Amino acid sequence: MNLNKVRKSYFDLDLLLIIFVFMGISCFYIYSAQKYLPYGNPFAIKQAIYFCIGLILTSVVYYFDLSQIKRMSIYLYLFGFGVLAFLLVAPESIAEETKGAKSWFQLPGFSVQPSEFMKVFLILFLAKIIVSHNDKFMRNKSLKSDFILLLKLGLAAIPPLGLILLQPDAGTAMVIAAILIGMIFVSGVNWRIIFTLILTGISAVVTLAYIYLYHTKLLLSFLGEYQINRIHAWVDPFNFSEGYQLKNSILAIGSGMDSGRGFNNGVMYVPEAHSDFIFTVIGEEGGFIVASMVIALYFIMIYKIIAIATLNKGQYERYICIGIVSMLTFHIFENIGMVMGLVPITGIPLPLLSYGGSSVLGTLLALSIVLNISTKTKTYMFSK
């Protein structure tokens, strides 16, 4: 009897189908949101073009071997860091400040937000650091080795995090932090250390809440005025002028009721409805039913990525999947939460639904790596 391992392709068609469904929903509701914009803004067509470019990118990444991606991770990380650093000093002709932040390269015909790609590069690099460290200290694991791993991960994540905060872009910085925290949780670090980090995080949140309530002016030392105004608008959107967008978003979603007003029948104007607030359009026109279906699709997508990570994968592949799950989960909960007033508005897009080339390409780049990982699954005779 042949006991050699049997190689079989496990390309996850279900995940690919979910991605296509999100593409259709995105173009569908962006087209509807265009009615709030000046005539002649074909954002739905542009979004479809971004998706096509993203699919080409996906097909290219699909043919890279994971060992090649692992070797390239340090160079991708350094490239992304270099681009972020150049963005801060670039002339206004190519990096104009928009909405108080210098986060985009304004190029002829299109714009690029490098931090969207840096998130993926960071995941690849952090996964490599964890695997290399665990291989080195496999037989001599201790609290000291765990602290060394935390130091390595921190030294890798803090530089791009700092550059993003200097833009300033607090939303993307929070995504970077979520990626780092998610990967630390599964890195094998002792739970006593993790518990200490959790208590530290809770203490920081309580401290910030206290400062906001009783010493608001102190927040200006590390937050911009527009960011503090966003907090005011979140706490009481109906009594602050800065809460106009959130107030209308809450009213629009509520007016959708169970079945919604119907496609292209929304009446509540919400700024950036085609972008960060696309879920508002879905909630108003599709109602609770369609909005719940979209959320369910996200849960299925996250489940599929976790399932891929646990199916006979190497450590590097698993850590990549966990990093991508951390990134997507934070994006989903933060974006949907902010349009309903559950969390402060941070300006981060809803993956695969919000309009934007950088967001679409960055998300599809991450998912293309997951699809690549799914294909490399191996099964063994008598594996059960």
pLDDT for position 291 = 93
Tell whether the model's pLDDT for residue 201 goes beyond 90: no
What confidence score (pLDDT) does residue 383 get?
44
Stretch 360-383: mean pLDDT? 77
- Assigned domain for 272 exists: yes
In a domain, residue 383? The reply is no
Does residue 163 belong to any structural domain of this protein? yes
Please say if the pLDDT value at position 8 is more than 60: no
What is the spatial distance between Cα 349 and Cα 356, in angstroms, rounded to a whole number?
8
Averaged over 257-275, what is the pLDDT? 84
Q: Is residue 70 one of the residues assigned to a domain? A: yes
**Least reliable range by pLDDT among 8-12, 33-37, 168-172, 304-308:** 8-12
Instruction: Note whether residue 1 is domain-resident.
Output: no
Q: E strand or H helix at 241, and its extent?
A: none
Rounded average pLDDT over 282-297: 93
Average confidence (pLDDT) over 320-337: 94
How far apart (Å, rounded) are the C-alpha atoms in residues 370 and 364?
A: 10
- pLDDT given at position 384: 44
What tokens were used for 380?
Answer: 């063994």
- How confident is the model at residue 23, as a pLDDT? 94
Average pLDDT over residues 351-369: 92
Q: What is the mean pLDDT of residues 111-117?
A: 89
Dihedral angle, C-alpha 293, 275, 337, 259, nearest 10 °: -40
Percentage of residues in the chain having pLDDT higher than 90 = 39
Which among 23, 130, 16 is positioned nearest to 372, based on CA atoms?
A: 16
pLDDT at residue 70 greater than cutoff 60 = yes
| Residue 127: per-residue pLDDT | 94
What pLDDT does residue 368 have?
92
- Whole domain around residue 236: which residue ranges? 7-378
Task: Note the pLDDT of residue 270.
Answer: 84
Structure confidence at residue 363 (pLDDT): 94
When pLDDT is cut at 50, 70 and 90, the band that residue 224 belongs to is low
What pTM was computed for the model? 0.88
pLDDT at 40: 62
How large is the average pLDDT for residues 254-278? 85
Q: In this structure, what token pair is assigned to residue 312?
A: 């006979």
d(CA 45, CA 48): 5
Cβ neighbours, 10 Å, residue 299: 11
CA dist 227 and 231 (Å) reads 7
Q: How confident is the model at residue 39 (pLDDT cuts 50, 70, 90)?
A: low
Q: CA Rg, the chain, in Å? A: 22
Residue 384 lies in a domain: no
* Maximum average pLDDT range among 6-20, 119-133, 194-208, 298-312: 119-133
> Domain tally for the chain?
1
In a domain, 177, yes or no: yes
pLDDT at position 378 is 53
**Does residue 370 fall inside a structural domain?**
yes
